Amino acid sequence: MSHTIVAITACAAGIAHTYMAARALEALEQEHGLKVKVETQGSIGAENILSEQDIAAADVVIIASDVEIELARFAGKRIYKTRPKVAIKDAKALVDVALKEAVVFGAKGTEVGNITLGKTNENGFIQHIMSGISYMVPMVISAGLLLAIANIFAFQKDELGRMVAWGFDQSDPLGDLMYHLFLVGKVGFTLMIPLFAGFVANSIASRPAIAPAMIGAYIANDAGFLGTETGGGFLSAILVAFIVGYFVRYLKMIRWPKLLQPLVPIMILPLIATFFITIVVKYMIGGPIASGMGAMYDWLTWLTTNYSASTFIIGAIIGAMIGFDFGGPVNKTALIFGTAVFTDTVAKYGIEGANFVPGTAAQAAISVAPLGIFVASQLFKNKFSPTEKIAANSAFGMGIVGVTEGAIPFAAAHPVQMITASVAGSALAGGLVGFFDVKFYGGIGSPLGTFVGYIEQPIPFVTWILCTFAGITLTALIIGLWRKPIGVETPSPSSKTDTQPASADSLTTQVANRSASAETKPIFHPQHVLFDSESTTKEQAFAFIAKQAMALGYVSDAKAYESGLNAREQSSSTGFTGGIAIPHCKNTAATHAGLFVVRFSHPIEWETMDEQPVRTAVALSIPASGNEESVHMLTKLSRKMMHQPFRDTLSQADSLEVEEAIATAIA
């Protein structure tokens, strides 16, 4: 089966390994029938740039790079990261591994340091909790909206239009209907905690655990059954769900007699588990949890009632957690806490006394990161590449419907920048809705939520938009001011139409004419074929190369350039195959671009791709900043290095033949 491969190659200096890796991958198209396109990101900028169509059609994206590569445009594609030397050594093996082991970039679960973006660990605590919440949310929304709608008709006015009482006029048909809708809403809030517990237990141990967990959670929240002033709330439901879930999982491990096996999942397991959890709730966890939860929510209500600043602080903390890992475990923890506070205070105080702060803050913050990215891409257009702008549009589509995960590709590519911006903006949005006493009953957690759903706010429709957009704007400004403008790429020099090789005699003149340096120097001269009879180690070879380059006028400081060669070697070996190495580095000590062929009398141990010692070094001096034309010619030479006859010439031929081969390569 033919596969379509796209790749980016880049090495530290942007010269040798960049183009050798590209050539090795491109050769697969002819040798193995693969469709291959490689974008090189070298010293002269990006060449053969991958289009949106190229990326969309690819089965896998290979990043063979020693430097950081912008990956936002590859959101949703399978990516495999490696080093350029791996591609040079065996490109086919690399592709085979990439097709098997590449992972989707920007998907939930993307790791940034110790943070996992957008996804919790498989079979983990949060996963089970979120499974229960996913089943509970529709009931929360429908019951909350019914209560909110009915509540509008419960405020009774006097003849002057002043609110004088709360209650339903059941003598009026509309008032009677609203009264019963209010009761239905309360039934929904009564059932949602048992429903939650049932499906958490189902996530752990499947269907036999649902009934006992629902019953256990119901009695754990029944103050009359417990003999307490209030129920155990959301925490008791979590404990019940996990106790039942793992108890049933244990019971399922028992080898039941064949005669009983048909009855095990539908009768025996639910019966035993229900009896067990009843004893646990009644005599062990019910009373203490109910007392503890009652005290905590009394304190929380007292705090938010008596200290107006506390609502801002609580909302900001919840918002910051929502914005921290883009749907990951910290985000989910904040969402669970907000849901728990809302459901528990509804059960304890009724809808009119519910604590909305944490839950509303979570919803206000949930879309800040993706929408902040989109706004930044519009305000700071010169700081986003074309592919990033497309990814930002996708982030808008997800953010406007309240999906934080739309920010993951940008967070994976720029973790510190994105997490800082997201936490700041999300905290601001969460704090503002808490401060202004906004109440989110249900709907979409984005500015659009003010129209889709029901949100009680001081200024209808407007307050929610202002609070959420304040957070979005702060996030956008941090992202935009943090970023640097996208550099204008210098176009590659046009290739010669005359492909005939240049003569050795004309090489110096040709290079001199192209050079922009004040003191023109050819990239190569017959004097650049050097013989080293003393070096026996890489370090000694580097010292010899740097000393000779300085003597020939290509390097201003031999020690500085020697240090640069050593540093480059530590980041990634420059050893090639067939006894050749290509030591090089981009360094301020290099005053001119040059190539030096060094032949060693003693074989030198080097980390090469075929594990053979080095007999010839093709060394490059690369100015840290300077003439693009010279760098382009070094690039051509690097590509030519992929061909064995060219390498043989450098290693074995006399100086004039070497000069002619190099002239042909850069013509």
H and E: helices and strands count for the chain: 25, 17
pLDDT, tens only, 168-196: 888 889 889 988 998 898 888 789 889 99
pTM metric for this prediction: 0.57
CA dihedral 386, 389, 390, 393 (to 10 degrees): -170
Closest among 335, 330, 363, 537 to 434, alpha carbons compared: 363
Q: Which of 6, 8, 10, 11 is catalytic?
A: 11
Q: What is the pLDDT of residue 172?
A: 87
C-alpha separations of 413 from 73, 324, 407, 416, 529 in Å: 10, 15, 10, 9, 44
Per-residue tokens: 533: 């009879």
- Ordered by start, the domain boundaries in the chain are 4-105, 125-482, 504-666
Measured CA to CA, the distance from residue 321 to residue 334 in angstroms comes to 6
Q: What is the pLDDT of residue 511?
A: 41
Instruction: Give the rounded distance of the alpha carbon of 351 from its chain centre.
Output: 38
Contact 395, 406 (CB under 8 A): yes
82-86, 91-95, 148-152, 660-664: range with highest mean pLDDT: 91-95
Q: What is the pLDDT of residue 403?
A: 79
Q: What is the pLDDT of residue 502?
A: 40
Give me the residues paired with residue 530 across strands.
598
Q: Which long-range contacts (CB under 8 A, 24 or more apart) does 455-460 make?
A: 455/360, 456/148
**CATH superfamily membership of 504-666:** Mannitol-specific EII; Chain A (3.40.930.10)
Measured CA to CA, the distance from residue 326 to residue 75 in angstroms comes to 15
CATH code assigned to 4-105: 3.40.50.2300
CA dihedral 102, 105, 108, 110 (to 10 degrees): 80
11 as an active site residue: the answer is: yes
User: Region 521-539: what's the mean pLDDT?
Assistant: 88
pLDDT, tens only, 347-384: 777 777 788 999 999 999 999 999 999 999 999 998 88
Q: What is the pLDDT of residue 631?
A: 66
Measured CA to CA, the distance from residue 301 to residue 567 in angstroms comes to 61
